[in-house]
Amino acid sequence: MFPGDICINGDAAHPLALALAHMHQRSFHFHGVRYSNLQTFLQAITYPRASDQAAVSGLPAKEIRRHLAATHHLEPPFSFLLFKNQWFRRHGTEYQALLQQAYDELFAQDLEVRHQFLLCDPAETTITLRPHKLKRIPLRASELLDQCTRLHRRARAEASHGEPTGTS
């Protein structure tokens, strides 16, 4: 297990950072769109036009910053977010369900991500996001912790039933 404090976007060797940080390519498909990682999905839904969302979906998060400067995107505090031509209230239950679906898809499609969640018990870890990142993505540290806790439990349950959980 990897207890301790981590900053998802700063601790490159920590299992949860390996699974979720923008610096790592963790490509997954969600509702027919390929995202380069979970951060890219979170960035994409800050664009109010589907064409801009499609343009950034496969980009590494570092390249999205350049795209943000050149195009119109929603500004923080992200009261509403757009996904598949549907608006979601940022703190609404539908948005929370959408977040859960995205995390579930990444978990289901990437055995290494499953393994990273198995290695790290979020109950023993303080998870933070860099303050400037909080201004750029529609995700609170508490939401991240909730998803990580849920997926850690799922990875442990699957491992106890002999289901694949990646490699070390």
Both tokens of 108, joined, read 């289901």
3.30.70, 2.40.50, 1.10.357, 3.30.470: which CATH number matches 4-159?
1.10.357
Rounded to 5°, the CA angle 42-45-47 comes to 130
Confidence of residue 1 (pLDDT cuts 50, 70, 90): very low
Question: Regarding predicted confidence, which is higher, 121 or 158?
Answer: 158
At 14-70, the pLDDT tens digits run: 666 666 665 567 889 999 999 988 888 888 888 888 888 888 888 876 676 677 666
At 113-148, the pLDDT tens digits run: 888 888 877 777 666 666 555 556 677 778 888 888
Confidence of residue 2 (pLDDT cuts 50, 70, 90): very low
Measure Cα distances from 105 to 41, 90, 100, 131, 140 in Å.
12, 20, 9, 27, 20
**Residues linked to residue 35 through DSSP beta bridges, in sequence order:** 28
Res. 168: pLDDT tops 60: no
Res. 3: pLDDT tops 50: no
Confidence of residue 71 (pLDDT cuts 50, 70, 90): low
Question: Regarding predicted confidence, which is higher, 150 or 163?
Answer: 150
pLDDT of residue 27: 87
Buried-state track 47-72, b at ≥16 Cβ within 10 A, e below 16 = beeeebbeebbebbbeebeebbeeee
